[in-house]
Chain A
């Protein structure tokens, strides 16, 4: 019985993966078109891009009231939103504040609200955007200063799902066995970089501060689906995500999936946990 369920799930996973690949490819084709247009337009301009950046500092006169500053940044091929911010900071205003570190979409520091969508600044090409480019801090989070938001609530939600591996049954001196299928099953969920773009995009999280949110539920999925933890622990994990502010809050709007920079099928993961929770509850009848 469980084998059959496993096989069916594997198929779903493959379909999901290829759907995602397809989506990404079609986005790329679309972007290639935009790029051609942008490059044609560029040859007729003086090659600067205008960015409008949200500014706010609670303790500096003149910045206590939020405002937008405009910077004209020289455009170079391959320029990202993050590059434009760094240029503006280093050449025009050293107080311009934003988080960034790796510049390669793995540290998750620079999720921003760019032209009305949550994106990582470092992996968003300027030519893929409408100009001028409007850069704001993530919505639904408290602004600390300029583009920096308070991440504490996001971290609290992540930690609320017991985000660590738990098992009582470990082999001595060697690794636990895990099938390739099971590893594949959790693979996408383990790619989360904690950028919080999903949480920021979620209408439910915006209205319900206690809602665990897509990233935390995905973290729970990562462990609940990992067979190395065992059935008992899975029950425990399903109890956590079934609470009042857990999976049942999700209204399947796909906004989180839409903005995830690592292409994690977040909504699918939440849906699957709902199904698992129903199955698990039925067992007790």
Chain B
């Protein structure tokens, strides 16, 4: 049995993972990264916009914190938001010192630009490819420091002790499948495991996320006993290309691009969705308008609407939006100088995730999470543009430092099931969520396994037999299950949510879980078996889809990205609280914990989120 041993293991090598690894290395720890893709393939590279950081005179961290709290629709926790705003400037300077090629002002300083929901132009950027440069700059530092990277190793299981109470559990490592050789190997972490696995957009059938964004981290942590938080909050972007989900930047509408339905109507105005802002209304409003048009039969091919920028003229398009021409041509086969672009809403970002403190800790000792897979919570019910990248570097660094032993003091954001303030007892679900039976091997807590080496070995054994079973079986292929799951999620849990639809989704998810029991992999090869990887991912998607849907059913109000047909208003008396779900040994338990609106110097008063 191969078991690699390091002080700190980082799972995932996008922005948060790379920053965490560098931070642990800075503390002198022996750190290794385990990632299913080579680091430069990570989806951080696709981020375009920029990094919010209060760098300049006239701006300060308190303004950044205020904007973020307002944007979150008062569902972010003040200590986490203030940490983000306080640490971001230093982290951005650090990136510049590592050579990141930021765009520049005439005086040679890094450029900043205005972004939606910001009271100061504090979005620091590197062209329209900020994420690409952030990713490559940090990977360069990993190379410089000689940090070991196990690339194309798919982490499929955490090695966690099985104490009854999740808050007594410890994480001692993880198990990974070596994609090239087919070997299942163990990783023993003497100090900590940091999950930085990114998004989970593959839960939906139409997303700007990469194919690799399957929520592996949240699913593994959840099954190991860590609660997931605010899972119902999923951001949808209104202008993505129908065939691929590639994002068409808000810049097109900013420059004057117009949305038309199939009848040639400028529906944002003509159907009264946003009589003032029109095409420039907020993302959720535009997304719902587009889907209403399609649902009421005024879409094109019953699927999409048109985004037209031809009237801007070829010269202006080439001058300001050349990139869009390439995107539309390369990925949709449409020349937007000559014809309108088909667009529809697509899943873009998940605000919810693994519950952590502002130090990146989870309730399981030695297990951390940072980046999109985590929920500290910074974004609450809605993420502002330009706030995803600072989250990666700020909380990646903190998780890395903490895991390597730096004392960051006592965290203010409480974690673990003991932070519960009230249980959810009246949720009416059509089917039982969670594991199908108690023999489902994920954390069958009997308190027998507590010795570190034994925990890792046991996890490797378990994973090996699971892989064998799937390779030798003669059952269902995962692809159909995944497709049905994604279709049901997009149909019922997208920008429109209503009770009956959410219940229907839970039924489909249950059905998928049942079919998955009989899943197997038809490619018998040990070499680069992507069929096997995708099959394991599909299990994670099922668990994540279920938590999103349960959260959406529980929250009967409209807040941020979450909209309910029967409840179209924000209800602060009832809902200034986080939706928490814990796996609870296979019978998921919903409960709530209060939002922290008390900041370092002030209390944040909920106000109407209008701009």
Contacts and interface: CB of A to CB of B under 8 A. Distances in A.
A101 B96 contact: no
Interface string A68-83: 0000000011111001
A274 to B, nearest CB: 23
Interface in B489-518: none
Interface in B27-77: 37-38, 40-43, 45-46
B526 A59 contact: yes
Contact of B40 (A58, A76, A186, A193): A193
Given A94-B479, A107-B42, A179-B104, A83 B243 contact: yes
A24, A94, A170 interface centre (most CB from chain B within 10 Å): A94
Interface residues of B, number: 67
Nearest to A163: B140
A165 B41 contact: no
Interface stretch (B5-13, B420-428, B527-535): B527-535
Contacts of B241: 78
Nearest to B244: A103
Contact of B104 (A35, A173, A178): A178
B37 to A, nearest CB: 6
B533 to A, nearest CB: 10
Contacts of B529: 95, 97
Nearest to B534: A94
Nearest to B207: A103
Contact of A177 (B98, B107, B143, B523): B107
A94 B107 contact: no
A175 B41 contact: no
B109 A101 contact: no
A162 B146 CA distance: 11
B212 A101 contact: yes
A151 B45 CA distance: 19
A202 interface: no
Contact of A57 (B143, B211, B527): B527
A107 B210 contact: yes
A283 interface: no
B522 A94 contact: yes
Interface in B283-330: 326-327, 329-330
Given A95-B523, A101-B43, A178-B108, A164 B99 contact: yes
Interface centre among B37, B133, B525 (most CB of A within 10 A): B525
A182 B120 CA distance: 27
A37 interface: no
A109 interface: yes
B4 interface: no
B137 interface: yes
> Taking chain B's interface residues, is the majority helix, strand, or loop, or is none over half, making it mixed?
loop
B132 interface: yes
Contacts of B445: none
A24 B108 CA distance: 31
Interface in A44-80: 57-60, 76-80
A97 B530 contact: yes
A176 B525 contact: no
A187 B101 contact: yes
Contacts of B329: 28, 31, 125
B129 A78 contact: no
B402 interface: no
Residue from A174, A175, A180, A229 with most neighbouring chain B CB atoms (10 Å): A175
A183 B38 CA distance: 27
Interface string A7-30: 000000000000000001000100
B140 A193 contact: no
Contacts of A178: 104, 108
B97 A176 contact: yes
Q: Is the interface of A mostly helix, strand, loop or mixed?
A: loop
A10 to B, nearest CB: 14
A105 B41 CA distance: 10
B148 to A, nearest CB: 13
A106 B71 CA distance: 29
Contacts of A190: 101, 133, 136
Interface residues of A, number: 67
Contacts of B271: none
Nearest to A76: B243
A28 B335 contact: yes
A155 interface: yes
Contacts of B531: 94-95
Q: Which of B101, B143, B332 has the most CB of A within 10 A?
A: B101
A263 to B, nearest CB: 9
A175 B104 CA distance: 11
A123 B96 contact: no
B524 interface: yes
Interface string B92-119: 0100111101111111111000000000
B528 A97 contact: yes
A174 B93 contact: yes
A57 B525 contact: yes
Interface in A218-265: 223, 226, 228-229
Interface in B520-548: 521-531
Given A163-B143, A186-B101, A228-B99, A59 B40 contact: no
Contacts of A107: 37, 40-43, 45-46, 210
A125 B101 CA distance: 31
B525 A94 contact: no
A90 B479 contact: yes
B127 interface: yes
Nearest to B96: A175
A108 B99 contact: no
B210 A102 contact: yes
B333 interface: yes
Nearest to B42: A107
Interface of B: 37-38, 40-43, 45-46, 93, 96-99, 101-110, 127, 129, 132-133, 136-137, 140-141, 143-144, 180, 210-212, 241-247, 326-327, 329-335, 477, 479, 483, 521-531
Interface of A: 24, 28, 31-32, 35, 57-60, 76-80, 83, 90, 94-95, 97-98, 100-109, 122-125, 127, 144-146, 148, 151, 155, 159, 162-166, 170, 173-180, 183, 186-187, 190-191, 193-194, 223, 226, 228-229
22 contacts: A28-B335, A31-B329, A32-B335, A35-B333, A60-B525, A78-B242, A78-B332, A79-B243, A80-B330, A101-B210, A107-B45, A122-B244, A125-B330, A155-B38, A164-B98, A164-B140, A165-B99, A177-B107, A190-B136, A191-B132, A193-B132, A194-B40
Closest 3 CB pairs of A and B: A165-B99, A177-B108, A95-B523
